[in-house]
Amino acid sequence: MKFPPCLRAFCLVVLLLWVNISRAQHTLIHGGTVRGDLGKREIALVFTGHEFAEGGEVILRTLRSEKVKASFFFTGEFYRNPSFEALIRMLKTEKHYLGAHSDKHLLYCDWVKRDSLLVSGSEFLRDLKANYHEMKKFDITKKEALYFLPPFEWYNDSISFWTGQEGLKLINFTSGTRSNADYTTPDMKNYRSSREIYKSITDYEIKDKNGLNGFILLVHIGVSPARTDKFYQYLEPLIKELKAKNYTFVRIDQLLR
């Protein structure tokens, strides 16, 4: 049986779309990628930094002993802080991913009305370029740091669009666990202990049909001294437990390749 050319063309388009979707099932929210391929047991450990970095030594030692490569997104303020220079250079030497997290850690949009911008396009661009300017001092080029993680992990469609105009790709953490609450202090209403955070990750892995496949798991490289219960101290047992379940830890550029 012969099919008309238009039907054959339509079938070809559908097939190509199916192939592309099956190759990379990435999850997007407001134009930003928040999860990688659901079909692969890969996790990207992502660390952000702005003011604090007291966990750097522990984190680096853990990654080294577990032979894991992670991704680090720092603000311009972090990159220009002389106290953090040795740590940044060590992370680069050990081939971890180093990316941008804004220059001044600006809040881009309203917490309640997400579509309400708090910065103009020119302000966003100026701040972003200042971040990459500081990264260049460590020989980190824009070409090798195409993924951008917005400050406060909060953005909207406009921010994603402006990011794309600069040839960059906006990413954010995968929701569902409490890992990003590791910065909270006991005086905060949303405070979560490290044990609670750890359990939220392992519970999610069990309950979600896709486990932690393609997960972007965000942790802070340093937090306020007011929080003495540091979650990065729990990283080693967490990595070991997830490795035992056949998860592989990869850099963000490998997760979203």
CA distance 217 to 35: 9
Examine residue 5 and state whether it is found in any structural domain, yes or no: no
Percent of the chain at pLDDT exceeding 90: 90
Residues 17, 189: contact at Cβ < 8 Å?
no
Is there a domain that residue 15 lies in? Answer: no
Question: What tens digit of pLDDT does each residue of 18-70 get?
Answer: 434 444 589 999 999 999 999 999 999 999 999 999 999 999 999 999 999 99
- Examine residue 38 and state whether it is found in any structural domain, yes or no: yes
Q: What is the pLDDT of residue 24?
A: 55
Q: What is the pLDDT of residue 4?
A: 60
Candidate from 14-18, 99-103, 173-177 with smallest mean pLDDT: 14-18
Task: Classify residue 140: in a domain, yes or no.
Answer: yes
Average pLDDT in the 165-184 region?
Answer: 98
The tally of domains found in the chain comes to: 1
Q: 199 is in which domain, residue-wise?
A: 25-255
| pLDDT tens by residue, 56-79 | 999 999 999 999 999 999 999 999
Query: Cβ neighbours of residue 172 under 8 Å, at least 6 residues apart?
Result: 29, 32, 33, 34, 149, 150, 153, 155, 216
pLDDT for 93: 98
Query: Rounded mean pLDDT of 110-123?
Result: 98
Q: Residue 190: give its domain's CATH number.
A: 3.20.20.370
Answer yes or no: is 13 within a domain. no
How do residues 194-242 score in pLDDT, each as one tens digit? 999 999 999 999 999 999 999 999 999 999 999 999 999 999 999 999 9
Is residue 17 in some structural domain? no
d(CA 51, CA 80) in angstroms, rounded, equals: 11
Provide the residue type at 67 as one letter.
K
Cα 17 to Cα 3, 14, 22, 33: the distances in Å are 20, 5, 9, 19
Asked whether residue 105 is domain-assigned, the answer is yes
The answer to whether residue 4 sits within a structural domain is no
Distance of CA 67 to the CA centre of its chain: 19
